[in-house]
């Protein structure tokens, strides 16, 4: 979202107040709709966000990559082509890999005619490297170059994408996977390790020119627009009619669905009988996909890059993978025959195109019918694995928290149409969540809409404490994106130990573009950038 108001001055100088005030406090705001709070700290000292770096630039990176953003016409198969924005000529862009502890340097060149940035989704990068225009950097202008540097602290499956007009730019292909391998593997390495990015496309849109009028909120086909407020859930995990309706929200917005670079449904991942396989499923789109594996039992070994403890084998379960989320699954290939990754999505096009085979090439005939898959239960992470292991719980519901916040997700209207709100306001009018470095933080999220909101926090992963009031009883679960279905509530908690200015927003990028964004603001940090450039 482009901010369209003029004054977002935010400097330390302007907000030093007379001494004697010992605590962080809000000062009166000259402009009601700055997404940052004007606040003073006990010392009155501010550091600029651009000083929050991991490493002096003189140090030598362990791994170096270059991503060049460029326009290209892509053939997705099935007779479908798209005017794409790509990194290095492909969408997804190259899978970047590093080992835990590596000093990663990525040089981004922008050969497009629109500004871009790169955000490292799920990685706890330092505050200056988060890739949010107007908040942590200036946008990378056409013809420009920008260098990102961070230490890959945590192993796991992540992804990267532009954070400028993301509905258009991520939608048109500016995304890719990034995998951080553990420094010391705790479990045997699988024989095969594949990164699998799911994406949906509107092939009639012209990504190169950013001319995607069919996708703008003002005239977007909202499917079954539902302005009713769902009742809060009390029954935990039961798929309701409202969920089914919410899954269909974007049904008419997209006409091609890809597994990695193809929509032909014939993506083949080689594997021999008896081998172990890890699939790193990354949802790089805006809609939830109901995926499953047939032909094998499998384990969900990680969510959003974080290992689950003692995951048990399951079979015939649907994995509801929300926008921006990652599921790492592992399985053993059967002694004969293939394994298939299938979709139980409602549209036949999605089911045909979001399909892959692991093993040997076949004619692509699905090994299970849609109706049989749809009768399967949904994977429930709140009761999976167990906590009696090395993956420890950091937080409990009843403990003391330094800061407690509530987020009510709702709907509103303005002159350009429907808006998505947090506590009744749309970005940039949503007040920030202000924390001090070191705070323990708990957030209660409630979805009062008939839509799915995959809520993503930049900079820090959070532990999921409850869903619909019921505690997580299996493995501790750490996510960076929690998919909140209609009527659901979640309690999440984290330690604020990565100082910065971090966006907290819905990763249905249409919703983000229409207001469902806010900022987690650490006290004592100033922003030298022009907040008019802010974009989800």
Identify the residue among 249, 508, 517, 533 touching Cu ion (CB under 5 A). Answer: 508
Give the range of 305-313, 354-362, 471-479, 511-519 binding Cu ion by CB under 5 A.
511-519
Best CA proximity match to 504, nearest among 524, 476, 482, 472: 482
Min dist. Cβ of residue 107 to Cu ion (A): 33
Residue pointed to by tokens 């994406």: 199
Min dist. Cβ of residue 507 to Cu ion (A): 7
The residue count of the chain comes to 536
- Which positions from 423 to 462 touch Cu ion by CB under 5 A, shown as an x/- string? ------------------------------x---------
423 burial class (0-12, 13-18, 19+ CB within 10 angstroms)? middle
- Which token pair is 316? 């015939």
CA-based diameter of the chain, in Å? 76
- For position 246 contacting Cu ion by CB under 5 A, the verdict is no
- Which token pair is 85? 């924005």
Distances (CA, A) of 342 to 183, 202, 248, 251: 32, 21, 18, 18
Min dist. Cβ of residue 485 to Cu ion (A): 11
The alpha carbon dihedral of 142, 145, 150, 152 has a sign of: positive
Min dist. Cβ of residue 488 to Cu ion (A): 12
Nearer to Cu ion, 49 or 324 (CB): 324
Min dist. Cβ of residue 157 to Cu ion (A): 22
Min dist. Cβ of residue 509 to Cu ion (A): 9
- For position 510 contacting Cu ion by CB under 5 A, the verdict is no
- Which token pair is 320? 């509801």
Give the C-alpha separation, 495 to 457, whole Å.
13
Q: How many residues bind Cu ion (CB under 5 A)?
A: 4
Min dist. Cβ of residue 508 to Cu ion (A): 4
Min dist. Cβ of residue 506 to Cu ion (A): 3
Nearer to Cu ion, 124 or 419 (CB): 419
Helix (H, G, I), strand (E, B) or coil at 25: strand
Q: Verify cis geometry, omega within 30 degrees of 0, for the bond prior to 29.
A: no
Neighbours of 319 (CB within 10 A): 23
Residues 315-344 that bind Cu ion (CB under 5 A): none
Nearer to Cu ion, 68 or 216 (CB): 216
Give the C-alpha separation, 69 to 269, whole Å.
27
State residue 457 phi and psi, 5-degree precision.
-105, 130
Nearer to Cu ion, 128 or 407 (CB): 407
- For position 511 contacting Cu ion by CB under 5 A, the verdict is yes
Q: Verify cis geometry, omega within 30 degrees of 0, for the bond prior to 92.
A: yes
Cβ–Cβ under 8 Å, residues 91 and 175: yes
Nearer to Cu ion, 117 or 426 (CB): 426
State residue 532 phi and psi, 5-degree precision.
-65, -20
Chain mean position to CA 356: 23
Min dist. Cβ of residue 419 to Cu ion (A): 11
- For position 506 contacting Cu ion by CB under 5 A, the verdict is yes
Nearer to Cu ion, 126 or 450 (CB): 450
- For position 411 contacting Cu ion by CB under 5 A, the verdict is no
Nearer to Cu ion, 97 or 448 (CB): 448
Nearer to Cu ion, 304 or 536 (CB): 536
Nearer to Cu ion, 442 or 453 (CB): 453
Task: Catalog residues that contact Cu ion under the rule CB under 5 A.
Answer: 453, 506, 508, 511
């Amino acid at each position: 979202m482009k901010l369209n108001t003029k004054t977002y001055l935010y400097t330390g100088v302007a907000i030093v107040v007379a001494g004697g005030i010992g605590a962080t406090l809000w000062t009166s705001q000259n402009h009601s709709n700055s997404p940052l709070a004007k606040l003073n700290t006990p010392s009155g000292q501010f550091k600029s966000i651009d000083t929050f770096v991991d490493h002096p630039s003189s140090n030598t990176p362990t791994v170096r990559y270059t991503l060049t953003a460029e326009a290209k016409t892509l053939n997705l198969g099935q007779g479908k082509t798209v005017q794409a924005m790509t990194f290095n000529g492909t969408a997804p862009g190259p899978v970047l890999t590093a080992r835990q502890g590596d000093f990663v340097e990525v040089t981004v060149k922008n050969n497009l005619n629109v500004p871009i940035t790169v955000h490292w989704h799920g990685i706890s990068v330092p505050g200056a490297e988060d890739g949010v225009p107007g908040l942590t950097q200036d946008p990378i202008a056409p013809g420009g170059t920008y260098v990102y540097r961070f230490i890959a602290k945590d192993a796991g499956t992540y992804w990267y994408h532009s954070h400028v007009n993301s509905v258009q730019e991520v939608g048109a292909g500016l995304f890719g996977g990034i995998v951080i391998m553990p420094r010391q593997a705790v479990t045997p390495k699988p024989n095969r390790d594949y990164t699998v990015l799911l994406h949906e496309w509107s092939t009639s849109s012209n990504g190169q020119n950013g001319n995607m009028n069919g996708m703008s909120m003002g005239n977007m086909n909202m499917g079954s627009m539902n302005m009713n407020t769902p009742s809060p859930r009390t029954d935990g995990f039961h798929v309701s009619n409202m969920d089914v309706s919410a899954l269909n929200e974007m049904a008419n917005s997209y006409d091609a669905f890809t597994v990695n670079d193809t929509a032909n449904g014939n993506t083949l991942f080689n594997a021999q009988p008896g081998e172990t396989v890890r699939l790193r499923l990354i949802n790089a789109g805006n809609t939830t996909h109901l995926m499953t594996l047939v032909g094998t039992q499998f384990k969900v070994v990680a969510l959003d890059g974080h290992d689950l403890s003692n995951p048990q084998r399951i079979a015939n379960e649907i994995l509801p993978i929300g926008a921006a989320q990652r599921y790492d699954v592992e399985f053993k290939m059967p002694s004969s025959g293939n394994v298939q990754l299938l979709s139980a999505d409602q549209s036949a096009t999605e089911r045909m195109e979001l399909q892959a085979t692991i093993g040997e090439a076949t004619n692509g005939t699905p090994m299970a019918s849609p109706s049989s898959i749809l009768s399967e239960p949904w994977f429930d992470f709140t009761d999976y694995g167990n906590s009696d292991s090395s993956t420890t719980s950091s937080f409990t519901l009843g403990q003391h928290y330094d800061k407690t916040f509530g987020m009510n997700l709702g709907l509103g209207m303005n002159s350009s149409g429907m808006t998505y709100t947090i506590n009744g306001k749309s970005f940039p009018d949503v007040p920030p969540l202000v924390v001090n470095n070191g705070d323990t933080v708990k957030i209660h999220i409630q979805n009062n809409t008939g839509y799915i909101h995959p809520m993503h926090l930049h900079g820090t992963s959070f532990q999921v404490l409850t869903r619909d009031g019921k505690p997580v009883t299996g493995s501790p679960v750490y996510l960076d994106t929690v998919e909140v279905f209609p009527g659901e509530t979640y309690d999440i908690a984290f330690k604020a130990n990565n100082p910065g200015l971090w966006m907290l927003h819905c990763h249905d990028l249409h919703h983000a573009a229409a207001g469902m964004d806010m900022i987690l603001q650490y006290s004592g940090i100033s922003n030298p950038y022009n907040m008019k450039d802010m974009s989800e």
